[in-house]
Structure 1
Amino acid sequence: MIPITRPVASTRIAVGLMAFAAVSAMLSAPASADALQQQAQAVFGSGEAPQLQSSEAEAALGRVLFFDTRIGRDGTNCGTCHEQSKGGADGRKTALGAFGRQGKRNTPTIVDIVPQISMHWTGDRESLADQAIRSLTAPPAYAHASADEALAVIKALPDLNERFNALYDDGVTAANWGKALSAYQEHLVTTSAFDRYLQGDVQALNAAQKQGLKTFINTGCAGCHNGRLLGGTSYQKFGIVADYTLYTGSQEDIGRMAFTGKESDRRVFKVPPLRHAAQTAPYFHDGSVAELKDAVDIMAKVQLGRTLSADDNQAIQTFLQAVTAPMPAALQRP
């Protein structure tokens, strides 16, 4: 629930309404289960997991690094903010990093994280590897003064140094750190009931979940929350038709504008994937909304100018439950 890509506000509204109309037209025809399935496949894809670009060996090393408490300056590690019991996120409004530093934005899940156009809410990380490398020096993360300082710590740990040398010809480097952590996260893939439905199993969703799917698309949510991840493929202004701060009670965050310097990017964020939304409260870039039902209502109001009935809100929540799945065993600490 956000609708479509990026330009100036008036253009965004027009494009968003066009996307809503187009998607609605797709679902206005036959009401049979098979027709709904075909229409869903056109919006969300085949339900198949993305093809892995990395090896199991790299993923195994990445998992060790992800949870290692010896690398960060105070024991903080990637697993500090990404817990299996919290849907791959941390359950906090905003991230809590090294030395108790409070981050500015809400922690996204790392489960089913690819493919996306970029990482972070504002897209200021080009890839998972880029995010991993820059986390070594980020104050809310590992908090090292330089990447070289962090790599020296890793090289001084015989078990890690040996594993890097066994896997990479050039051993411990920032690039290889990025590759390993990226590989681990790439392998954190789940299969939901909705995936099985998209793959052809008409019975994978029950009647209430299918009604939720219809409501999700007919309301306009799929204008941006589309594809396998239900998002993550575009940027959008938060508050197309209404000021979001009036509903969330939070302060303005200028979003991508802080990264790009462009006024047109004020309050623009990457459209968040919704695959695990039911497991990763609180919601929005600042964690300002605690309940999924409230987040659904707010998105309909500020993005689409719509007030949902209680039944439609519940239907969308029911659908989002069908999109989620149990967390991968690999997200447990080794």
Structure 2
Amino acid sequence: MNLTSRQILPGGVTAGLIAFVALTSVIPLPASADALQQQAQAVFGSGEAPQLQSSKAEAALGRVLFFDTRIGRDGTNCGTCHEQSKGGADGRKTAQGAFGIQGKRNTPTIVDIVPQISMHWTGDRESLADQAIRSLTAPPAYAHASTEEALAVIKALPDLNERFNSLYDDGVTAANWGKALSAYQEHLVTTSAFDRYLQGDAAALSAAQKEGLKTFINTGCAGCHNGRLLGGTSYQKFGIVADYTQYTGSQEDIGRMAFTGKESDRRVFKVPPLRHAVQTAPYFHDGSVAELKDAIDIMAKVQLGRTLSADDNQAIQAFLQAVTAPMPAELQRP
């Protein structure tokens, strides 16, 4: 949730956020369109998509596995929680997996998912491959008793077994399952109007969206939500200056502390990317807020100690419209 550093200081404040706030407090935002574009490039990058590290063949296999209803114990598959019509998420407050088992946290989108520092809200999954492998035994996912049990199911399906063997010398393994699924997700890349703006097309954003971009930066949102995904590259305490539960009406979630055991990680979460926020309500780690405008107001209050005007809120919403993009055609069952 910072520009240059992932260090979290006492109280959950990142060093990068402090530096960003200090910088924007002494250097006014540029007034000209070209200068705004340069400011945006410095904060959010070039607008270019990340280089793909996997092959189309692996991605094609991953797409088949992603939607296959035969692998999960009750027909549940990755596509159950990641729908094209829901922006690559599921529209629920929290995930729902095999046998209707309710997860604890909100489902993130898988579209434009790289690069991030880790998977899940608390960073308890190191990579997409790690997430895919561990989903085989996770209750709010495939819910198999063991990885071996899940792999045995896949090996017993001739068409899948053949496809694994054609791609990998060692056939069906947990590692290859992870490679294929991560390859598929890595290929779910979109281009937004904001990407085109960052690439140099000054006309890609409307006047209202440019005003929203200024407001987003000037308010301090970009101190955490920066980079191509507008987040996803750091951790931050939810509720730096105010108790978030007072505004969301939800119960405390100790966040990353449950994973690390460190008191300093209480209520710390990975900064969620905002790239497809318009399409992926409800919001926050527990899906406790249904409307984007309310989520924006709450974040300003509990993270930055600011009360936004209605005009500023609408401006930020307009900017976030420019950051989203149509869902990839590949996010459908093949």
TM-score range, shorter chain: over 0.9
Q: 1:99-150, CA deviations, whole angstroms, 9 ceiling, x for partnerless residues?
A: 0000000000000000000000000000000000000000110000111100
Matches of 1:38 and 1:109 in 2, distance apart? 28
Tell me if 1:20 matches 2:11.
no
Task: Tell me if structure 1 keeps the 8 A contact 2:231–2:272.
Answer: yes
**2:188 aligned partner:** 188
Contact 1:23–1:222 (CA under 8 A) maintained in structure 2: no
What residue number does 2:30 align with?
Answer: 30
Is the Cα contact below 8 Å between 1:2 and 1:221 reproduced in 2?
no
Counterparts in 2 of 1:305 and 1:6: CA distance versus 1, 3 Å: farther
Alignment RMSD, CA only? 1.5
Structure 2 matches for 1:1-334, cutoff 5 A? 5-10=6-11, 12=13, 16-23=17-24, 25=26, 28-334=28-334
Q: By how many angstroms is 1:333 displaced?
A: 1.2
CA distance in 2, matches of 1:239, 1:257: 15
Compute the displacement of 1:19 (Å): 1.8
- Does the Cα contact within 8 Å between 1:74 and 1:99 map onto a contact in 2? yes
- Any idea what SS the aligned residue of 1:329 has? coil
The superposition leaves residues 273-320 of structure 1 with CA deviations (integer Å, 9 ceiling, x where unpaired) of 000000000000000000000000000000000000000000000000
Q: Is the 8 A contact 2:2 2:14 kept in 1?
A: no
Check the 8 A contact 1:66/1:79 in 2, yes or no. Answer: yes
TM-score by length of 2: 0.97
Secondary structure, in 3 states, of the residue corresponding to 1:37?
helix
The letter for the 2-side match of 1:22 is L
Amino acid paired to 2:220: G
2:2–2:226 contact (8 Å) kept in structure 1:
no
Distance 1:202 1:110 in 2: 28
Give ranges in structure 1 of 5+ residues lacking alignment. Answer: none
Residue ranges of structure 2 left out of the alignment (5+ in a row): none
Please tell me the residue identity of whatever aligns with 2:19. M
- Shift, 1:20, TM fit: 1.8
- C-alpha separation between the residues in 2 aligned to 1:208 and 1:307? 20
Is the Cα contact below 8 Å between 2:12 and 2:265 reproduced in 1? no
The size of the alignment, in residue pairs, is 333
TM-score if structure 1 supplies the norm length?
0.97
Aligned amino acid, residue 19 of structure 1? F
Counterpart-to-counterpart distance in 1, 2:8 and 2:274 = 23
TM-aligned CA deviation for residue 17 of structure 1: 3.9
Measure the CA separation in 1 of the matches of 2:75 and 2:25.
Answer: 50
Which amino acid is 1:100 matched to? G
